[in-house]
Amino acid sequence: MFSIKRPEQVSISVPDYLHTKTCPGLTGIRGLAIIIVLLYHLGINHLLRSFNGHMTGRTGVDIFFLLSGFLITTLLLKEKIRAGQISLSNFYARRALRILPVAYLFLLSMIIFNLAFKLAITKASFLTGFLLLKNLPIISVHDRWTRHFWSLSVEEQFYLFFPLLLKWVNLDKILILIATTITTVLAFSIAGAHHLLDGQTLLLEFSRLAVFFFWQGPFAILLGCLFSILVFKGFKFNCTTKRNSVLAGLFLATAILIRSPTFTFYTPFFCEFMADILVGFVIVLIVSRSGALAKLLNSRFLILMGTLSYSIYVWQQLFISIPIQVPSSHLLGFGTAFWFVLIDVLRLICISLVSGLSYYFFEKKFLRLKVLFR
């Protein structure tokens, strides 16, 4: 059965299944995450509405955040154990090579398109994009062409500070800090959402700040960090039987389901929290290569989608944001639904081509340079 075990002595060591440099299963779940984002942006809810369903793009983005928190914490802890310390300069160099080249190429391309097609993207919007400040409440910077940079901004701001904790603060204290932060933010967010703080001006304001600063990414990243630290502290997440492999798949499906506002028992913030917890378990199970779910996520298609996921995420906004008028009446004998599907297929073809070119002829060249900073 699925279980969590904690040994009596929790020395910090690298678990056997984390000694490998890569884990294809995590690339696969990254592929699943970008598919969710794409489906949402392409209007999957037009179809789901007929079944009283709803998919939110934040489900995919939060999977990215959880994966990021888990993987980066894992890599930094492995470095600390093996080398005796964490090189912050090398870490920041690797992050810059991972994030900035494609992001800046996109922004430079948008500057050209903005001049050519009068897209009304302001200088302030470009500036906050280049500085990765898109998540902050700055006036007149949220155009539809570059607004997806909010998630990149959240991640880069988070990783300016979290590695400092891993480098200089005891791991037990970090665990307490993360657990306290998650519990406090969750409690105040739920209380605020249910109007339990009405009339309590100071507490209500704290609730609003907690929602703004943590639920736009840092909360999910922290949970990913938490799962990684627990693994290094000796917690074992076992899923070795066929039944438990199915359970891991159900965890992932349930996480996607309960985040939907149309879910019967949907509760703001609590459902997001539970969904992220379930995804965290799935990540650990995939890393340990347990069961059929890991094999499914190792499929060629999901591995390819996961490999291209960053380029896809950056470039998809360009094609999603292009306004196309769908015929309201039958044209050439085809109804509105046909034209919706055709337009989405054309968008997907363009996204695939540009993302593939971006990855293989640009992004990959910079990723190879990361070996210089290990």
What string of pLDDT tens digits covers the 374 residues of the chain?
Answer: 444 444 434 457 777 777 777 776 889 999 999 999 999 998 888 777 777 778 888 999 999 999 999 999 999 999 999 888 999 999 999 999 999 999 999 999 999 999 999 998 999 999 999 999 998 887 656 789 999 999 999 999 999 999 999 999 999 999 999 999 999 999 999 999 888 888 888 888 888 888 888 988 899 999 999 999 998 887 766 545 556 667 778 899 999 999 998 899 999 999 999 999 999 998 888 887 656 777 788 889 999 999 999 999 999 999 999 887 776 666 665 667 777 888 899 999 999 999 999 999 999 999 999 999 98
Tracing tokens 């379930």 back to the chain, one arrives at: 278
DSSP, residue by residue, 39-101: HHHTTHHHHHGGGT----HHHHHHHHHHHHHHHHHHHHHHHHHHHSS--HHHHHHHHHHHHHH
Q: Would residue 55 count as lying in a domain?
A: yes
Q: Would residue 188 count as lying in a domain?
A: yes
The DSSP secondary-structure symbol of 334 reads B
Q: Would residue 27 count as lying in a domain?
A: yes
pTM score: 0.92
Please give the pLDDT value at position 138: 74
Q: Would residue 332 count as lying in a domain?
A: yes
Please give the pLDDT value at position 9: 40
Tracing tokens 């991972």 back to the chain, one arrives at: 98
Q: Would residue 374 count as lying in a domain?
A: no
Please give the pLDDT value at position 19: 72
Q: Would residue 141 count as lying in a domain?
A: yes
Inter-residue contact 65 to 280 (CB < 8 Å): no
- The helices-and-strands tally (H runs, E runs) of the chain is 15, 2
Q: How many domains does the chain have?
A: 1
- Tell me which residue range forms the domain holding 51: 3-369
Enter the tokens of residue 304: 């390819």
